[in-house]
Amino acid sequence: MPNIPRSRRPVRVNDPQGTRGRLVDAAFRAFTVRGYNATSLHDLKRELGTSGGALSHHFPAKRDLVLAVLRERVAPAVEETWIAPVLLAQTAAQGVQDALEAVAKQLETQGHVEGCPLNNLALELAGADEEFRAPIAEIFELWNAAIADKLLEDQRNGRAPAADAQDVAALVVAAYSGAMAMAKATQSPEPLRRCARQLTQLAGLRWPVES
Amino acid sequence: MPNIPRSRRPVRVNDPQGTRGRLVDAAFRAFTVRGYNATSLHDLKRELGTSGGALSHHFPAKRDLVLAVLRERVAPAVEETWIAPVLLAQTAAQGVQDALEAVAKQLETQGHVEGCPLNNLALELAGADEEFRAPIAEIFELWNAAIADKLLEDQRNGRAPAADAQDVAALVVAAYSGAMAMAKATQSPEPLRRCARQLTQLAGLRWPVES
Amino acid sequence: MPNIPRSRRPVRVNDPQGTRGRLVDAAFRAFTVRGYNATSLHDLKRELGTSGGALSHHFPAKRDLVLAVLRERVAPAVEETWIAPVLLAQTAAQGVQDALEAVAKQLETQGHVEGCPLNNLALELAGADEEFRAPIAEIFELWNAAIADKLLEDQRNGRAPAADAQDVAALVVAAYSGAMAMAKATQSPEPLRRCARQLTQLAGLRWPVES
Amino acid sequence: MPNIPRSRRPVRVNDPQGTRGRLVDAAFRAFTVRGYNATSLHDLKRELGTSGGALSHHFPAKRDLVLAVLRERVAPAVEETWIAPVLLAQTAAQGVQDALEAVAKQLETQGHVEGCPLNNLALELAGADEEFRAPIAEIFELWNAAIADKLLEDQRNGRAPAADAQDVAALVVAAYSGAMAMAKATQSPEPLRRCARQLTQLAGLRWPVES
DNA sequence: ACATACGGGACAGCCCGTTACT
DNA sequence: AGTAACGGGCTGTCCCGTATGT
């Protein structure tokens, strides 16, 4: 009885990296859009077609999943949308404007405003568990530090007025985070735009007016 | 308050207003500390001693409870801690500083930083349901408008430099909200203090430097 | 439009006592036959037609259910099959024989030997949790004490030879428990019968052979 | 196979006998302490460091594991702690006392009373599956037979009074098993000691009172 | 107005086995 | 022989809402 169309058996492929990555991706998306508590693992499984065993294997508990999301998706996202632009710009002020502009543009493109992933998770999880709070705080601090460092460099090079770099950086990060919260609540990019405009009027971020 | 000999039957007090108020209070606290999804109605019932039916009587669904919390606790809180101080201060700039100072002081007093109730609920609920988003957006807008109005008044009176009042107000609200998020994540009032200091350096909030 | 066979609405009857009792009954049966860990709450619910909510209401956790079973079913069963017969018999020796005979007869009647409920739960749960162990130990001790007391009375009345009543009682209880374990393993009442016969040969249980 | 500089491959030792033995050992311990149903294979794997496939290789199913435990650990344990002492003693009565004394001493040494492995498994599994019941019954019967045989020999040699050897043996085994159950429930070796004392008062086990 | 009882339907986590892979 | 990935299914628990009772 030859020539059996051997396509019977449900061929399973072992792809640990891929499966894990897809899980983290899906979790990142879902946590950002719906939040941590409002996302059921069942949703993730169904969305991906992965089984409970696979999920359990890679992430014994939901907690482990969100920790991976923070480390492997949220932190890189902040790095990409904020730290890199700031570091690569000519001045911190310019970098901040670039980053704000890019995000505002993106919000305008896509209809729905989901808010900042870091902020969303921070507000929901920071109060719950020290194990969550610590990595979140760390991301905020790296972000802050990157802006502050750039600003200090600018000041040394005469490209920024004297000011407490840490304070200025904190305001920038806070303004962005808060603006995103308002943008999410009002479903409009306007708060972001308003903040972007006003930040150019901040003493510590104004190009030293020569004359 | 008579001598209660009747040890048997659960003494029931009919106190509609009181029960309702206590429910909203407990919900406000729990939603602020643990979040909406992480708070079960069972928790509230147990915390208050009031049980099931009472809650159901006043609030048919959990949704109704959070709406009441927004209307009757969160909005008044914003009114009290931000709108009133700003309106009563001599200038908007002063009012903003007062409000920030008051909150920072409070954070230092109490060990744990729970964050801003409005912000917490906004981030968790704004993306979920239009029914939640609208009242949250409204609170943000009232807050914003109060600051902007005061600023316009200042400008008319020569107590503030010319600037887009809406933009400045948005930055103030955003900076505060974001700073509270960071304060919650880092469990420290420092971000708030940094932002307070920097906001005094914002052009639109500086007292017109007379010659 | 009269005379609607008003059987439409799923009439629910509140019968807390009844529901609770049926749950404990079903649990007692299932725990005795299949054991604690091998019995799923789903089984109980389906067997009774009760819903998860009802179960959760009466017994927040499985632990609470088994504690109720011990207190309200196992202890009374020991009381009924052992303590009462012993106390009511003319002598302890006679009571022991009566109890053994009754159980042996019952085993012969019903085909399947499930073993002693107390023993089954004791072996499975006593090692797990102090909260389980304590009530189990208490039942054993009451059982033991009843036999010992009766024996002491017999000795005072000259109806039993001098012997350490506690020791004799312990042997009786142990022999019965062990015999039931063997009966369950061999699915035969023979071990019980053998023990019954031999216990009559125990010095402390023999009627003082006058001569 | 992307050439990962795979320096951290887990060192694997092929040791079929050893792995199998360690698995059975761990299972024996866990089943004795926590019971069959309360022990997850995951626990065993983690305890041993060996993982999934190894277990599956040696024991396709959990059932096979417990059967091996019965055959290779429980039966030998009964052989060692009961059958050998009885056979080697001068009389059955002496052997029984020796065995009881040894176990009681061991219980006193180690603080925690786990109970008799055979009894624990018997009560939990005998009712579940004929495949489990049979080997358990067999162990009980071998145990019983050893004592009965020794007793018959004693009787033939005039070292024991006439009595139904099977019955006496059954009582001894039952008393021990039951006493261990009580010892586990009360976490005390006392029941065992009491039974040991009383068994010396059993007619069939008393050294023929030389006239 | 309030309290107890209950209905179902999730949810996270676990568990036993099997399959791909080394 | 042994490892890691994976498949599903099930378990105890919780949770929100409603119905019954006082």
At B188, which amino acid appears? S
What are B61-64's contacts with CB under 8 Å, separation 24+? B63/B129, B63/B131, B63/B132
Do residues B68 and B59 lie in contact, with contact meaning Cβ atoms separated by under 8 Å? yes
State, as a whole number of angstroms, the distance between the CA of D49 and the C1' of E5. 49
Amino acid (one-letter) located at B55: L
Residue listed under structure tokens 């990296």: A17
3-state secondary structure C55-93: HHHHCCCHHHHHHHHHHHHHHHHHHHHHHHHHHHCCCHH
Give the closest residue to D184 by CA, choosing from D33, D14, D2, D6.
Answer: D33
Average pLDDT over residues B99-119: 95
The whole-number pLDDT of residue B52 equals: 85
Give the model's pLDDT for residue D54: 85
Chain B residues touching residue A70 (CB < 8 angstroms): none
The three-state DSSP-derived secondary structure of C5-27 is CCCCCCCCCCCHHHHHHHHHHHH
Q: Is the CB of B56 under 7 A from strand E?
A: yes
Say if the Cβ atoms of C191 and D185 lie within 8 Å.
no
Low-confidence winner among B99-113, B179-193, D50-64 (lowest mean pLDDT): D50-64
Chains touching D, CB cut-off 8 Å, 3+ pairs: C
| Chain B residues with CB-CB distance to A128 below 8 A | 34-35, 38
Q: What is the mean pLDDT of residues B108-123?
A: 94
Name the β-bridge partners of B202: A202
Give the per-residue pLDDT at B209. Answer: 47
Alpha-carbon span C124 to B186, nearest angstrom: 48
Query: Strand E: which positions are within 7 A of a protein CB?
Result: 1-22
Residues of A within 8 A of B34 (CB-CB) are 127-128
A7 touches strand E (CB under 7 A): no
Split at pLDDT 50, 70, 90, the class of C159 is: very high
Residue C139 binned pLDDT confidence (cut-offs 50, 70, 90): very high
Inter-chain contact A182–B35, Cβ cutoff 8 Å? no
- For residue B6, the model assigns a pLDDT of 39
Does A35 score more than 90 pLDDT?
Answer: yes
Q: What is the DSSP letter of B71?
A: I
pLDDT at A12: 78
Structure tokens at C102: 């009754």
A143 contacts A83 by C-beta, under 8 angstroms: yes
Q: Are residues C202 and D204, on separate chains, in Cβ contact within 8 Å? A: no
Phi-psi region of A49 (alpha: psi -120 to 50; beta: other; left: phi over 0): left
For residue D47, the model assigns a pLDDT of: 87
Mean pLDDT of all residues in A2-21: 69
pLDDT value of position B40: 95
- Residue A6 in this model has a pLDDT that exceeds 80: no
8-state DSSP, A202: B
**Does A190 have pLDDT greater than 90?**
yes
Nucleotide nearest to A18 (CA to C1'): F5
Percent of chain C whose pLDDT exceeds 70: 93
Q: How far is the CA of C14 from the C1' of F19 (A)?
A: 9
- List CB contacts (< 8 A) between A38 and chain B: 37, 124, 128
Average pLDDT score over residue span A64-73: 97
pLDDT band at A211 (very low <50, low <70, confident <90, very high): very low
pLDDT of residue C11: 72
Mutation target vs C (from D125, D195, D209; most C CBs, 10 A cutoff): D195
Using a threshold of 3 CB pairs under 8 A, tell whether chains C and D touch: yes
B15 touches strand E (CB under 7 A): yes
Cβ pair C185:D133 closer than 8 A: yes
Question: Subunits that touch chain B (at least 3 Cβ pairs < 8 angstroms)?
Answer: A
For residue B1, pLDDT over 60 is answered with no
CA C12 to C1' F20, in angstroms, rounded, equals: 8
- Evaluate whether C171 touches D199 at the Cβ level (below 8 Å): yes
A/B interface, count of CB pairs below 8 Å: 182
**Contact, A41 CB vs strand E, < 7 Å:** yes
Confidence of residue A2 (pLDDT cuts 50, 70, 90): very low
Residue B176 tokens read as 């505060």
Q: What is the pLDDT of residues C93-125, one digit of tens each?
A: 999 999 999 999 999 999 899 999 999 999 999
Longest dimension (CA), chain C: 92
pLDDT band at A1 (very low <50, low <70, confident <90, very high): very low
CA-to-CA distance for B192 and B24, rounded, in angstroms?
28
Please state which of the ranges A192-196, B20-24, C201-205, D152-156 shows the lowest mean pLDDT: C201-205
Q: Where are the beta strands (DSSP E) in chain B?
A: none
CA atoms within 13 A on the CB side of D101: 10
Q: Which residues of D touch C143 (CB under 8 A)?
A: none
Which residue from D minimizes the CA distance to C174? D178
**What are the residues facing A202 on neighbouring strands?**
B202
DSSP state of A203: G
Torsion angles phi and psi, residue B56, rounded to 5: -60, -35
CB count within 10 Å of CB B102 equals 13
Interval B12-22 mean pLDDT: 79
Query: DSSP string spanning chain C?
Result: --------S------HHHHHHHHHHHHHHHHHHH-STT--HHHHHHHHT--HHHHHHH-SSHHHHHHHHIIIIIHHHHIIIIIHHHHHSSSHHHHHHHHHHHHHHHHHHSSS----HHHHHHHHHTTT-HHHHHHHHHHHHHHHHHHHHHHHHHHHTTSS-S--HHHHHHHHHHHHHHHHHHHHHHTSSHHHHHHHHHHTTBGGGS-----
**Given a cut of 80, is residue C211 above it in pLDDT?**
no
What is residue C14's predicted lDDT score, i.e. its pLDDT?
Answer: 87
Stretch 60-119 of chain B: residues touching chain A, C-beta under 8 Å: 114-115, 119
State the greatest distance between any 2 C-alpha atoms of chain A, in Å, as a whole number.
94
Chain B residues touching A82 at Cβ < 8 A:
none
**CB-count burial class (<10 Å; 0-12, 13-18, 19+) for A58:** middle
Report the distance from CA of residue A62 to the C1' of nucleotide F8 in Å, as an integer. 19
- pLDDT for the residue A208: 52
Chain D residues with beta carbon closer than 8 angstroms to that of C198: 164, 167-168, 170-171, 202, 204
Q: Kind and range of the H or E element at A92?
A: helix A92-109
**Mean pLDDT value across chain B:** 90
Give residues 167 to 196 of D whose Cβ lies within 8 Å of C: 167-168, 170-171, 173-179, 181-182, 184-187, 190-191, 194-195
**Contact criterion met (CB < 8 Å) for B194 and A170:** yes
Dist. CA D121–CA D140, nearest whole Å: 12
Residue pair B45/B58 in contact (Cβ under 8 Å)? The answer is no
Q: Which among D37, D190, D201 has the least Cβ separation from residue C35?
A: D37
Cα(B157)–Cα(B142) distance, integer angstroms: 22
**For residues C173 and D105, what is the distance between their CA atoms, to the nearest angstrom?**
22
Give B3's pLDDT tier (boundaries 50, 70, 90): very low
Q: Is the CB of A50 under 7 A from strand F?
A: yes
Instruction: Region of C115 please: left (phi>0), alpha (psi -120 to 50) or beta.
Output: left
CA atoms of D18 and C183, how far apart (whole Å): 36
Q: Which of residues 106-165 of D touch strand F (CB under 7 A)?
A: none
Identify the residue among D116, D138, D139, D201 best suited for mutation to test binding to C, counting C beta carbons within 10 A and taking the highest: D201
Contact D203 C199 (CB under 8 A): no
What mean pLDDT do residues A71-93 have? 97
In this complex, the residue with its CA at the shortest distance from the C1' of nucleotide F6 is A54
Spatial contact of D65 and D24, defined as CB atoms under 8 Å apart: yes
Of residues A91 and D5, the one with the higher pLDDT is A91
pLDDT band at A10 (very low <50, low <70, confident <90, very high): low
What backbone torsions phi and psi does residue D189 show, to the nearest 5 degrees? -80, 0
- Which amino acid, residue A5? P
C-beta atoms of B174 and A175 within 8 A = yes
Residues contacting B56, CB < 8 A, separation 6+ = none
Q: How far is the CA of B71 from the C1' of F13 (A)?
A: 33
pTM metric for this prediction: 0.90
Neighbours of C67 (CB within 10 A): 17
Decide if pLDDT at B12 tops 70.
Answer: no
Mean pLDDT by 10 residues, chain D (211 residues): 41 70 94 96 89 88 96 98 96 96 95 94 94 97 98 94 96 98 97 96 74 37
Average pLDDT, chain C: 92
